[in-house]
Structure 1
Amino acid sequence: MATTGDFAGAAPMAPAPHGPGPSYLPSQRHAHAGLASNLLDVGILRSTILPSFGLHSGLSVAAYLAGRATNRLETKDWLWPSGMVLNAWWAAVGRHVADGVPAADAWAALQRPEKLLLAAFSVWGGRLMWRVARRSVQRGKDEPRYEPAKKEPGFWGLKAFLGVYLTEALFQTAITLPFSLLFRTSAQERGVSWLAAGTGAPAWVSAMAVGIFGAGFTLETLADLQLDRFKARSVGTETEMCKEGVWSLVRHPNYLGDALVHFSFPLFLYGNNLLSHPLAVCGSVANYLFLRYIGGDKENEATQEERYTKENQTKKVEFQRYQQEVNSFWPGFEAVANKWTWIVAGCGVAAAALEQAMR
């Protein structure tokens, strides 16, 4: 039976500082490695980025074929959370199991912060996957905002595959970098040139990361619950925008919450002396750019504007008023006086306190 020390490419190990399982010795990292060489490291490209992209692109092909067969572009939405969580688990546990390591041993080899990070990512992805699946089943048809795109000539050819599915596979590869870099690379490969492990990050950094995750997760969960409740009350009289609860803070609290969740991951790595490559920060940046400028609030509001113009002029006026009154993504200073700001922040503080108490 292979032991946890038999993992291919593993560095020398020492007892983990935060729980059972091995920890890579910081002394084995290459202190002379520069930032530029780390960013352009062919070894990391080969061992981490390309395998990760291969997984996401393969899943995207399957989602594309399913979408083309059913004429439902929302198959990419099913893949978004599930594919990224699958990648993280494959990198952390699955690939070792495929090499003959028992699953229990592969899990035990992870440090406590690594297990917590993987669990948090799974909770985020599981909630979002449930949300996507539930809405899809309730609708019984494709997401309305995708209908205009599907009417374009030849959409389900290369336009959909390259412009939508494969593009999102690239973003998924980037967004999962904090996990693929952590679990796929050895200490020697990652180097120590930038925010290296072993530099002794302040203890409060880890707590702050957990707090940001807790606040973000609370925000996106409340946003979905409050929106569903509003829609249930508005059946047959759909002339108003949801402005209650966290929707009074920003127009897209679900996207803001998602961004906060992903910002917390590299910060948590740093707070636990596990952030040892600058590319790990690119995950949260890629997620933010996608939410703001590609598949998030920009796309959503453009389709809303078009749909309301054609179908509901009263709601269009209400939507334009909402745009003037409330910021799109980041809250304004007036949010300080909004009770929902403090409810969300309080949940973040509670999450940080709970994690510290469990240490």
Structure 2
Amino acid sequence: MELASATMEIEGNNPFGGRSYLLPPPSSSSSSSSSSSYKPTSHSFLSTSLFDIGILKDTLLPSLALHSTLATAAFAIGSLTNRLETKDWLWPAGQVINAWWSAIGRRLVHDGASLKSALAALSRPERLILAGVTLWGGRLFARVARRTITRGTTAATGGAKNEGMGDDPRYEVTKREPGFWRKALWTVYLPQALFQTVVTLPFTAPFHHQGGSVKGYSRMGQALAVGVFCMGFGLESLADWQLDGFKERGKGEGGVERGMCREGVWGVVRHPNYLGDALLHLSFPLMLYASDMLAPIELLGPIANYLFLRFVGGDKENEYNQARRYSAENVTKKVDFDRYRREENSFWPDFNHLSSKWTWMVLGCGAAGATAERVLSEIFA
């Protein structure tokens, strides 16, 4: 009875419901109860230590095992088809799979919950985070898939010469290194799995634990988190759309691109898509903090994502491959590429671009998204 009383008191302090209660494990006598009344039993209070042993056992190690397994499968497919781009397919897909497993899948498998009851058990912040991860990963996965299919179709019809069976041209020089595929699992795929394990912390750990005692939440903070997500999602989508349009219009004779895209948001920074991705991932711990659900270790997620984008598989890798490819295949574009690097920042815009209409359009995306989410939450509350 004391436990039930405590459960009601904790749940009553949470305006969202769904995760701030503490229930005992189901006994054998209650195992036959309907899954429609399912409530998760694994939410215990999380220590604020960055090295909490609980989060290591039930979040980090299972995540590492999942991402390593997926990375090994992607490596096997990549080595058989000579496509290094399989790692790009896996980057969004693996993170979405992990988020859904943590939020829903483990409850279906281990607790016997129905899909409907597992979804209903999520709080509003949890639903927003899961929806955000799914939107981000789904859009990026679709883009990588469309890019691959387009190259494969072009190569099959004789419209392009591509030694990688339609692989991303950025990786052709890399794959020519002696014994590349013999070591790629250890030098490319598994290191990426390690990064994914840390990057996914803000949208895996919260479904296992609470980030401290639930005392309240901040509407303004949640609106800020939604706004930052919409800014990042809008910037990333706009950058990809403008780049595709430029490539379609900017080809000269023989389908060779004449120069670098400097239109729209590409005139603000050299990698607006990566900046959008970084903002988007920052929004998840912001939402957790505003909802009184943040554990310090979850801050490592956007930090790891930023480091990966800047120094591992993002702009550093991209520009290194661009420089080598343009030097060998398109000297005119290499000259324009060098000029572009001198004149525009790689990742963060400088103050001169604060007056750019594209900067204000991205900010407008954030404001519109935050407003729309707030209105919809009031309507469907």
Would you say same fold, with TM above 0.5? yes
Contact 1:13 1:22 (C-alpha < 8 Å) held by counterparts: no
Q: How far apart are residue 13 of structure 1 and its match?
A: 6.4
CA distance in 2, matches of 1:16, 1:118: 23
Q: Mapping of 1:1-359 within 5 angstroms?
A: 14=11, 17-19=14-16, 21-24=18-21, 29=45, 35=48, 38-99=49-110, 100-140=112-152, 141-157=166-182, 159-185=183-209, 187=210, 192=212, 197-236=213-252, 238-275=257-294, 277-359=295-377
Deviations 1:3-59 (A, max 9, x none): xxxxxxx9996258455634336xx747xx5x5xx2222222111100011111111
Unaligned regions of 5+ residues in structure 1, if any?
A: 1-9
Which secondary structure state, in structure 1, belongs to the residue aligned with residue 204 of structure 2? helix
How many residue pairs get aligned? The number is: 334
Q: Which of the two has higher C-alpha Rg?
A: 2
TM-score (norm 2): 0.83
Distance 1:273 1:24 in 2: 14
Give the alignment's Cα RMSD to 1 decimal. Answer: 2.1
CA contact (8 A) 2:11 2:17 kept: no
Unpaired segments ≥5 residues, structure 2: 1-6, 23-43, 153-165
Q: How far apart, CA to CA, are the structure 2 residues paired with 1:211 and 1:228?
A: 26
Q: Is the 2:251–2:257 contact (alpha carbons within 8 Å) kept by the matching residues of 1?
A: yes
Which whole-Å deviations, capped at 9, do the CAs of 1:163-207 have from their partners, x for residues lacking one?
Answer: 11000000100010012210123x4xx5x3xxxx53545431111
Q: Does the residue aligned with 2:354 lie in a helix, a strand or coil?
A: helix
In the alignment, the residues of structure 2 paired with residue 76 and residue 308 of structure 1 have an alpha-carbon distance, to the nearest angstrom, of: 23
- Identity, in percent, stands at 55
**2:64 partner letter:** F
Contact 2:58 2:208 in 1 (8 A): yes
TM-score, normalised via structure 1 length: 0.88
Equivalent pair of 1:18/1:113 in contact (CA under 8 Å):
no
Conservation of the 8 A alpha-carbon contact between 1:15 and 1:21? no
CA displacement 1:145-175 (0-9 Å, x = unmatched): 1112211111111x20011100000010001
Q: Which amino acid in structure 2 is aligned with residue 234 of structure 1?
A: G
Distance 2:10 2:79 in 1: 48
Q: SS at 1:235's partner residue?
A: coil
For each residue in 1:245-294, what CA deviation from the matched residue of structure 2 results, as whole angstroms up to 9, or x when unmatched?
A: 1111100000000000001110111111111x211010000000000000
Shift of 1:240: 1.3
